[in-house]
Structure 1
Amino acid sequence: MPDRVREALAAAGYTAGWAVTGKLPAGVVARVFDAGADLATHRDGPGVRRLRANLARVRPDAGPAELDDLVRRGMRSYARYWREAFALPSLDPGAVHAAMHPHVHGIGGSLDTVRAGRGVLYALPHAGNWDVAGVYMVRELARLGLEPAITTVVQRLRPESLFRRFLDYRRSLGFEVVPADDPRAAHRAVTARLRGGGVACLIADRDLSGTGVGVSFLGAPARLPAGPARLARLTGAALHPAYAVFAGDAWGVHVGPEIPVPDRAAEAKATQALADAFGELIARRPEDWHMLASIHGGPG
């Protein structure tokens, strides 16, 4: 299938998702997305196989049946992310914040840091619903009388119309969103936010640049992006690992302690500490880790 046709079909599918998901009964939509996830699991395409390989690193002692069940739940969790992404613009941010608040753990220290005027950089793996986590953070910052905005960097999607829709969607949630394919603009935006004592969030469990830091991640060699540790060092911001999860019908997030990056020599050590923290956080709820790609870096 030509790329142009594939992109047009993808854009049409996403547009239809936004148009109908927030208007249909939640139970009906959930069953449809679960069925789609189960079908994808059964077909065992490249993404499902990569997810299986990644989850096998989280649960190295799991037998075939246990790993099959974990993959099935992982695909349903990933489908839930997309289902909620389509519905989120129609949800009440106050209700989202209230439902999530009891399931947020370890965030107090980082909020104290922001209150003191120092920036905070949350580094996250692909997990749970990071958009909902962002909505929570925007609402929490406003509740504390702080600037209710966060900066994040996103990969460009094709076609452009689809990417623009995602940008508009995330900006409507209160995010400053910068495309990753303009690294200078992304660096300026995140740096400015952190130096101004604000909050930035970066997905950091996969190196797409090929220039990341070599680490041991889930018991095997991998590469993680150098950006989070470097930005924390350059701006003086506090670097915290964070892991978004689903909590029944609600959502949660686990925030780890600050990872210090006092100087340039500490960046590699801090990136390894981030890999260790991600490993511990993912092990708590591996089904919510949506890594359907290689974690060795590069394409695939």
Structure 2
Amino acid sequence: MNRDEVVAALVSAGFGAGWRAVRALPEPLARAAFERLGELSARRGGPGVRRLRANLARVVPSAGAAELDALVRAGMRSYARYWCEAFRLPSLDPAQVHRRMDPHVTGAGPALDAVAAGRGVVFALPHSGNWDLAGVWMVETLRRSGHEPVLTTVVERLRPESLYRRFVAYRESLGFEVLAVDDAVGTHRALTARLRAGGVACLVSDRDLTAGGGIEVSFFGEATRFPAGPARLASLTGALLVPAFPRFTPDGWALPMAPPVPVAGRADVPAAMQAVADAFAGLIAAAPQDWHMLQPLWDADRARVAA
């Protein structure tokens, strides 16, 4: 076993031990511990924290230094809460998740009506809140209404591979179908087939990971690129395109959805992704602390990093 393999094994073992330990703790104690970690991360001010601050400064351009400091601390607590829940989710009861989230879901009518009519739905999500729990709510809601569509999502492949498999297995146990973003052809074919069959796809859509294949949009007044996939899939399959914003409440979760974005054909894809960007901007501005964007996003920032 070489050095890289040893490191990968240690990382996987560490995550496995952490997974078991966090699940064994009472929820209030686990959340308090992770919030403390989030606070400490904010105070240390590493590269991710500095990037989060710069990103949030665009969301709340009127914020002074003290307000921005407080927002970054809240953002890191929110991000830490996501990881706490990611470790604990396999032990959570889907019915309990549904009960706590359902009163805070808004704008879901068009999506649920589409599924009932046998039409696919593409949910476009930013990196926010806990999208896994939003998926749990959707699966549980559809099951209660007598539907069993496939809920498909696409994820980045984590390293080491054993850690990636662990996360995939836990998401599959929730009723998700998980596809890898690096298998572009296979993932596209699977998503197209699922949506044409009336399935549901949840796609994180606020950061383009392709090599220049995204759509240029204006986001909070500056240029960036969003992935074209959500709108292209809607144009190919006739699926409904719905922007949504998973976020936290003090004792649970919320899922506001924006009105569906029309996509009549391929020529509408750029305008549709701009409409998604506009919807995200409105949703994020209402709860910026729950937007977990710790990477360079805007073209100007990417250019500075690359220089």
Could you tell me the TM-score, scaled by structure 1's length? 0.96
Matches within 5 A, 1:1-300: 7-209=8-210, 210-296=212-298
**Aligned residues, how many?**
299
Distance 2:5 2:81 in 1: 27
1:196/1:255 CA distance change after superposition, 3 Å: same
Deviation at 1:123, TM superposition (A): 0.3
Counterparts of 2:214 and 2:152, CA distance in 1: 21
Distance 2:149 2:230 in 1: 21
Q: Which string of whole-angstrom CA distances, capped at 9 and with x for unpartnered residues, describes residues 50-69 of structure 1? A: 11111111000000000000
| Structure 2 residue matching 1:293: 3-state secondary structure | coil
Between the aligned partners of 1:18 and 1:148, the Cα distance in structure 2 is 29
TM-superposed deviation, 1:148: 4.7
AA at the equivalent of 1:211: G
**Letter aligned with residue 255 of structure 2:** V
Distance in 2, matches of 1:69 and 1:132, equals: 26
Cα distance in 2 for residues equivalent to 1:124 and 1:192 = 21
Q: Which AA in structure 1 matches 2:225?
A: R
- Distance apart, 1:9 and its partner CA: 4.5
Q: Which of 24-33 and 228-237 deviates more?
A: 24-33
Residues 206 and 296 of structure 1 are in contact (CA less than 8 Å); yes or no, is this contact kept in structure 2? no
Contact kept, 8 Å, 2:149 with 2:200, in 1: the verdict is no
In the alignment, structure 1 segments of 5+ residues that lack a partner are none
* Offset at residue 17 of structure 1 (A): 2.2
Separation in 1, partners of 2:153, 2:27: 29
For residues 120-175 of structure 1, give each alpha carbon's deviation from its aligned partner in whole angstroms, at most 9, with x where no partner exists.
00000000010000000000110111115300001000000000001101001100
The letter of the residue matching 2:232 is: R
Contact 1:129 1:244 in 2 (8 A): yes
Task: Tell me the alpha carbon deviations over residues 1-48 of structure 1, each in whole angstroms, 9 at most, x when there is no partner.
Answer: x76565445323321221111111222212211111111111111111
Find the aligned partners of 2:7 and 2:51 in 1 and give their Cα distance.
22
Q: Which amino acid aligns with 1:70?
A: L
- Root-mean-square deviation (CA), in Å? 1.6
Amino acid at match of 1:23: A
CA 253–18 in structure 1, closer or farther in 2 if over 3 Å, else same = same
Q: Is the 8 A contact 1:148 1:174 kept in 2?
A: no
Do the aligned residues in 1 keep the contact of 2:120 with 2:196 (CA within 8 Å)?
yes
* Preserved contact between residue 246 and residue 256 of structure 2 (Cα < 8 Å): yes
TM-score, structure 2 as length reference: 0.94
Name the aligned partner's letter for residue 92 of structure 1.
D
Structure 2 unaligned regions, length at least 5: none
